[in-house]
Amino acid sequence: MVNVPPTSVPRTLKAALAMAVLGCASGNAWAQYSPSHERVPFRYERSVAAPITSYFKPLAIGAMLTVWSLRYDLTSNSRFARGFWETDLVDVGDAYGNGGYLSAMGAGFWGLGTVLGDTAMRHTGQAVLTGMLLDGICVTSLKLATQRERPDGSDRRSFPSGHTSGAWTVSTILARRHGPMVGVPAYTLASLTAVARMEDSRHYLSDVIAGATIGFVIGRIVTRHHTEAGLPLSAQFDGRRASFGLAF
C-alpha cells in the first residue's frame, strides 16, 4: 500500500479564500444599502478628514511597542518555531499579505468600479493602490537602511515586515472607508499575516509590530483627504500613452 502525503493548499487558493472573506462582508453590506442612495458596494462609504498631527500618536505608540518588543524577539520566535501556529488558517493570512495580491485587488476594484459606474468601488481601488505605493516606498527604504537579518538567515531585509505592513495598510483603508462589517474581517486577516510571518521564521516580533504600525498610519493618511471627488491617485490614457498622478 502506497502512502500518499497530504497535499498543501495552493497559495493562490489561500489568497482567493482571504479575498472571498472580504467579498462576503462587502456583499452583506451592499445588501443593506437603500436603493434610493447612490449605488455603492458598502453602506459605510464616507469621507474621512483629520489633521495630519493626529497620526503622530499611533506612530509614537507603535514605535514604543516596537522598541519594547525587541527584548522578546528571540523568545517569541522560538515559540513559533515549535509549529503550534502551523495551520492553513494562518497561511491564509500569509497569502493575504502578499503585495501582488493586494495590488491586484486594488486594481480590480478600480477597474470594476469604472466599468460599472460604481464610485465607491473605484475610490476603494484607488485608495488601495495609493496605499500600496506609499507602503512599498516606506518599507523598502527602511529595509535598505536597517539591513536586519531574517530569523531564517535568508537575507538582510527583515525590518520591517512588508507583508504585515501591506496587509494593515489595506485593512485600515477598508475599515475607515467601509466600517466594521468589512474592517473586522480585514483586520483579522492582517493579524493572521503577522502571525504567519513569525511562524515562517521570516520576521521577528518587532518586525511585524513595526510593519503593522506603518500600515495603520499609511492607511489613515491615504483616507485623510478622501472626498466624493475621488482620491489623489489618477490615471489617464489618450490611446497612445498612459499617465499617472499622485498628489497630497
Residue 31, domain member (yes or no): no
- Structural domain span for residue 142: 52-78+86-227
Residue range 38-97, pLDDT digits in tens? 344 444 444 455 566 677 889 999 999 999 999 999 888 777 766 655 666 777 888 899
Dist. CA 159–CA 183, nearest whole Å: 26
150 domain-assigned = yes
Does 44 fall in a domain?
Answer: no
pLDDT value of position 77: 79
In a domain, 199, yes or no: yes
Q: What is the pLDDT of residue 245?
A: 55
Residue 129 within any structural domain of the chain: yes
Residue 75, pLDDT score: 86
Q: What is the pTM of this model?
A: 0.77
Closest CA to 155 of 164, 163, 146: 146
| 7 within some domain | no
**What's residue 119's pLDDT?**
87
**pLDDT reading at 15 higher than 60:** no
pLDDT cut 70: percent of the chain above it: 66
In a domain, 120, yes or no: yes
* pLDDT of residue 125 exceeding 90: yes
* pLDDT for position 36: 34
| 218 falls within a domain | yes
Position 55 scores a pLDDT of 79
Check pLDDT > 70 for residue 132: yes
- Count of domains forming the chain: 1
